[in-house]
Amino acid sequence: MALINLTGDAFNATVDTDDIIILDFWANWCGPCKMFGPVFEAAAAKHPDITFAKIDTEAEHDLAAHFNIRSIPTLMVLKNRTLVFNQAGAMSAGQFEQLIAAVRELDVAAELARQEAGQG
């Protein structure tokens, strides 16, 4: 997909059509957000099959509230409409690439079945 600025109006359509979506909740005044921005953008260029979505918490209050964002940057990953990762704080490029690789390998249906069986 690409690097997009995601709004509340486009959120559901994006989630419904894209397999993997990485959400970066940020704000312009946030120093760690500015440091993580180039890492996020480089990963988006390297992985064009994944949607990398930046959500400006100052402009998208409803989305930030919906996801209970308390500190930024916060990174969330949705795979097949399921939240599979949620962490506040910036990551190094290496850590981010490890996360992307793990998400690619994750079988969401099998993991959910395992959790429902009480093995999680």
**Per-residue model confidence as pLDDT tens digits over 34-67:** 999 999 999 999 999 999 999 999 999 999 999 9
pTM listed for this prediction? 0.90
Q: Nearest to residue 57, comparing CAs of 20, 30, 22, 86?
A: 30
pLDDT at 12: 87
Q: Which domain holds residue 95?
A: 3-118
pLDDT band at 76 (very low <50, low <70, confident <90, very high): very high
Angle between helices 93-105 and 31-46 (to 10 degrees): 50
Catalytic status, residue 31: no
**Per-residue model confidence as pLDDT tens digits over 2-11:** 899 999 999 9
Q: Report the domain count for the chain.
A: 1
**Per-residue model confidence as pLDDT tens digits over 80-117:** 999 999 999 999 999 999 999 999 999 888 887 887 88
* Contacts by 58-65, CB closer than 8 A, 24 or more apart: 58/27, 58/28, 58/29, 59/7, 60/6, 60/7, 60/8, 62/8, 63/6, 63/7, 63/8, 63/11, 63/25, 64/25
The catalytically annotated residue of 3, 20, 21, 30 is: 30
Q: What is the CATH number of the domain that holds 82?
A: 3.40.30.10
The catalytically annotated residue of 23, 33, 90, 99 is: 33
Q: Nearest to residue 100, comparing CAs of 77, 69, 68, 70?
A: 77
Catalytic status, residue 33: yes
